[in-house]
A and B are shown apart, each in its own frame.
Chain A
């Protein structure tokens, strides 16, 4: 038991003070010391003892008393002890100054400086004072001055141990501060030399000195020798925490599993020896963070924080804590600790990680400005840090600064051409503006991942699938989606192994019992990162017309994620497509239960109500709600309101025309509003076109429609058949029937698979106006075939046949076939009208029975007339036939005669030749005879011969004459026929006149009346009112489908959740 003995003044006695029983109150001791005028070294011993016991106040009290002016006076000669006391106080303040924060720090240093100065005043050369000053300078960071102080001592005594250590540490610190690597190494080398000198000078020095050597070697990169040195320290002092920690860190740095294990063991041991070593605590916390033991992390870091005042270490501790909370998802707490961590750091170069964390937290909270600032700090230190660049890119994306975002991500791909994430982001950013580039980037990302044989993220494949989808490359899109989805319950749904039994509910979309049953048999899982892709896949299936499977997928989504509104809406749209309006409304109701302000659902409901005819007034409320829910920014709801107003203006109900005009005005205003927001909105342009068309401003309307028409022929997602129809209406109104017909036909074929009876009706009307009766009739028959229950079409077909007949009968020239056709058409017309007339007693299809009767009567009348015509025509035809027969016979006779003539000519010729020959022979004979006569002299025989020849000729002409007589007879019969025919002709025109008269009469005056009475005018009028109304209906319809189709297109633009992933 150590004790000090204070000699009692004036006696030989001493007061024994047991050092481990020092009184709590230092005043007691002080009293004794002062009273007995005890030697100063005793004061020091006692104060030191207090210090050792952690009784800082008592220590200070004694030493401050011991350095007071009384003491100075009294012990003026005891120089060394007085210096020692002052230096002790100086060291004390230096120590606290180091530990404390400003402003106490400054105060302590000031005190320390004063004490050392006082010590110097007592004896300038005292080395311990210089050493103390040196240490103070080290504490204050004034390394050069510290070095100077130590040098003074060392110049005196080259082996002064504390000075050597001091100087060594100064060099070491200089090395740490030094920016240039070479100079830093020089410093470490100097430091190492000094440590070595210290060791040589004082071989029994505490093992801690060897730590210096070890650290220097470590810094100099001589890792093995550093390790040896640390191990040596541990041999001497197995509980040296610093050495343990250093060795542990070196082990950890090997980055091998065994090394890390060894390192952690050492860390653990260090922790057991001294549980307050911040460095060890931080490392341990770091380790447990990666092993996921967050509770341990928190405990360790809290200890570390309470046991250290070192800024950087504290910062690291806060960082560990923040990271732990961050990964647990408690981002608010994490954010606070990141902030604390950042506050401990003077400049980002020291420790940059908390800035990353902070940036991520801000990003998560949507505080993009501050997040951006944090990441930019990171970039100051690491300008090519891809993660931070990507984070910044994401921030720009969120801020809507796409150009900057693209630039940032492009920079990432330049720095690291293998960063697939950046390619993904670039792809997604370019989805809307540049299809090809987006595809290129996404594909690059995919091939990068494939090369690295990493799992390709769902979002990437989803994005590629959507791009293909957009370009209508459905097979490729399907491949992508399938790859993204991988294996799961949906696969068995697609191949039919699951879900075949669930047909009964493939109609009842709201019944989910099947999934409940399924869940009893097997695990029904749908990972949340795949929901969007599954939804898109279902959209694709819809596009591929496989609505049965699409609806299954939507219902799977709803089963697992009952809040996925869009799935309800798609089901509602499918139900609507199947005309199951009731179910559609119920499904929308389900959606609205989840979010009563969901604009898409409101819009859909409104559209359905507008169609149902009963609820068209409430539809307006829906549209208005939808508009309000989107803050009036959603063009779709504005369009719908516009359409509603237009619809209201055209309601057939009786109302003041004033309201009609206001509705139109309102509609126009709304459409213009949409155009103001989005200049390229085709639906609004179309709407305005319609309003112009209503006012017969054809040219403006045409211009608008033509532009929309051209603009619409791009994407598969925007289809505007209405604009074709409207354009055709304009052609029609301007009398360009040919073009109107063509446009209607193209529209029918392109958009409706030729199934739209209404457009066929427009087409028929155009043919009607163009007086193309047959085309008109056939168009109407096709329409009836498609829509058999539309009796208006039947009426119209009757009218068209009636008109055809009348017009045929008006013609001045017509064939019997035409007239026959007229008769049968009239019979058909009568059949159609009489069926309608009877049917109207059963149904109320809006026809006046009387009107139909008039039509029937008129047709019957026409038929009677036509029958006469037909008979006449048939007679005429008969006669024509006969006439033709006669002509044919004449022709035959002519032919025969011609042949006979030829024959005769031929014979004549032959005879002539024979005659000539004969003559020659005769002449010869004659000559012979003459010669004979000359011999016998006679002339009469020649004359006789001549006459006989003439006789021959006469006979021939007689024959000819007979023939001529025959011809005359022929001519006579022909004349007779002609006369008869002429009579026929004469009769006919008269009849014709009569017919044209009656027909003309009917189509002239009486028909007007008749037509009006028969509702012909009406039917036209109906057509007329029918056309714009159904055009707007169409508009609504396609607007509806537009909104549906818009969804997948918008989807890729949604930020992927990856950027916010905290554990990165």
Chain B
């Protein structure tokens, strides 16, 4: 299990890059595309192997792009900007499909349902997860994060700022992470809150379910730790430390053996899940690494594992994962 740098593009955006996501290969397009979003208010698309620009930058993502998610079919993607709009667009043409918002709440992280039937968004200060259907783009649910038992009353009101969401690969569980470290798990079928996952006390900015074990959730937190939870059984089953600063992004490899993390300590780390240990540290970025993303399997000739990372240093990097 290792990473090997393939290509980096400096100045991929004019400003700090905050989001990256792979749009999977689609019927009309044989290869996946890497999407990146930045403070420069653009979303750009890149070819999967040489990181050549695939289309001119799509503008209008006002105040900067916070989060990106691609629909599993690879045709559309959603970008969240600091102006609290979710702009759903066609990956290839850049044409707008829908613009969503959930006033008065902000929107932060977004994720499509693994089957693509719904879009979940972290509802920021509303302390909830918002869901839309992907056909008519109508809101279908708002799942509030209950206050954990015995928690002290939160005077500032900023505690339950929801930052991140994740669907389990079977679509049965939905989890969200907040500024105060609270992680809430929902039954995504019955739209019911299940329980909290304990252990973090700082912002959980990124989380992802294991593709091989639909109960296992990996979380990255500002406490610079990575936690491994059994989201179903409510148990912390692993913790890994090594980053010198916040863990900003986390993704799990398609084979489910490794997780990659990006941190404000300017590094990308690869972790062996079974050994619960860091196996590699990439230091090619010179500023916070806001996004790491493994390329989804599928498409023409893409046996090889690929990891992409995007950073505040305006660069994106592509690695071979093997």
Contacts from A to B (Cβ < 8 Å):
496, 500, 503-504, 506-507, 544-549, 577-581, 753-755, 778, 781-782, 784-785, 788-791, 797, 824, 827-828, 831-832, 835, 838-839, 841-845
Given A507-B198, A754-B288, A754-B312, check contact A831 B237 (CB 8 Å): no
Q: How many residues of B contact A (CB 8 A)?
A: 59
A545 to B265, CA, bound (A): 11
Which one of A578, A754, A781, A843 contacts B125 once the chains associate, using CB atoms below 8 Å? A843
Q: Which residues of B contact A845 (CB under 8 A)?
A: 156-158
Q: Does B320 contact A (CB under 8 A)?
A: no
Interface hit among B4-12, B59-67, B136-144, B208-216: B59-67
Q: Does B181 contact A (CB under 8 A)?
A: yes
- A interface: dominant SS: helix
Which one of A504, A781, A843 contacts B82 once the chains associate, using CB atoms below 8 Å? A781
Binary interface profile of B, 12-50, with partner A (CB < 8 Å = 1, else 0)? 000110100000000000000000000100000000000
A764 to B223, CA, bound (A): 26
Q: Which residues of A contact B106 (CB under 8 A)?
A: 788, 835, 839
**CB closest chain-A residue, reference B288:** A754
Q: Chain B CB within 10 Å — which of A753, A827, A841 has the most?
A: A753
A547 to B239, CA, bound (A): 10
Given A778-B39, A785-B66, A835-B104, check contact A753 B288 (CB 8 Å): yes
Q: Which residues of A contact B242 (CB under 8 A)?
A: 544-546
**CB closest chain-A residue, reference B104:** A838
Quick check: A579 and B223 within 8 Å, CB to CB?
Answer: yes
A893 to B83, CA, bound (A): 51
A755 to B290, CA, bound (A): 12
A824 to B61, CA, bound (A): 11
A509: shortest Cβ distance to chain B, in Å? 12
Closest 5 CB pairs of A and B: A838-B104, A789-B158, A789-B161, A579-B201, A578-B223
Binary interface profile of B, 250-292, with partner A (CB < 8 Å = 1, else 0)? 0000000000000111100000000111000000000110000
CB contacts between A and B, total, < 8 Å: 130
A389 to B204, CA, bound (A): 60
A545 to B267, CA, bound (A): 13
Having A503-B237, A754-B264, one finds 13 other A-B pairs with CB under 8 Å, namely A500-B238, A545-B244, A546-B242, A577-B223, A579-B222, A579-B223, A753-B263, A754-B288, A788-B106, A824-B62, A831-B83, A832-B63, A838-B103
Q: Enumerate B100-152 residues with CB–CB distance to A below 8 Å.
A: 103-106, 108, 124-126
Q: Does B307 contact A (CB under 8 A)?
A: no
Quick check: B235 and A504 within 8 Å, CB to CB?
Answer: yes
Quick check: A504 and B237 within 8 Å, CB to CB?
Answer: yes
A113 to B200, CA, bound (A): 98
Quick check: B236 and A828 within 8 Å, CB to CB?
Answer: no
A474: shortest Cβ distance to chain B, in Å? 12
Q: Does B294 contact A (CB under 8 A)?
A: no
Q: Enumerate B162-210 residues with CB–CB distance to A below 8 Å.
A: 163, 179, 181, 198-202
Q: Which residues of A contact B245 (CB under 8 A)?
A: 753, 755
- 21 of the cross-chain contacts (CB-CB < 8 Å) are A496-B275, A500-B238, A503-B238, A506-B236, A507-B198, A545-B224, A546-B242, A548-B225, A578-B202, A579-B181, A753-B244, A753-B264, A782-B16, A784-B82, A790-B158, A791-B158, A828-B62, A831-B83, A832-B83, A841-B104, A845-B157
Quick check: B202 and A579 within 8 Å, CB to CB?
Answer: yes
A544 to B202, CA, bound (A): 20
Quick check: B126 and A842 within 8 Å, CB to CB?
Answer: yes
Q: Does B249 contact A (CB under 8 A)?
A: no
Q: Chain B CB within 10 Å — which of A827, A841, A843, A845 has the most?
A: A843
A312 to B103, CA, bound (A): 100
Q: Does B317 contact A (CB under 8 A)?
A: no
Q: Does B319 contact A (CB under 8 A)?
A: no
Given A579-B181, A785-B18, check contact A839 B125 (CB 8 Å): yes
Q: Does B84 contact A (CB under 8 A)?
A: yes
Given A504-B236, A753-B246, check contact A828 B63 (CB 8 Å): yes
Given A579-B201, A754-B287, A785-B82, check contact A549 B241 (CB 8 Å): yes
Quick check: B16 and A496 within 8 Å, CB to CB?
Answer: no
Q: Does B243 contact A (CB under 8 A)?
A: yes
Quick check: A503 and B63 within 8 Å, CB to CB?
Answer: no
Q: Which residues of A contact B312 (CB under 8 A)?
A: 754
Given A500-B276, A788-B106, check contact A781 B39 (CB 8 Å): yes
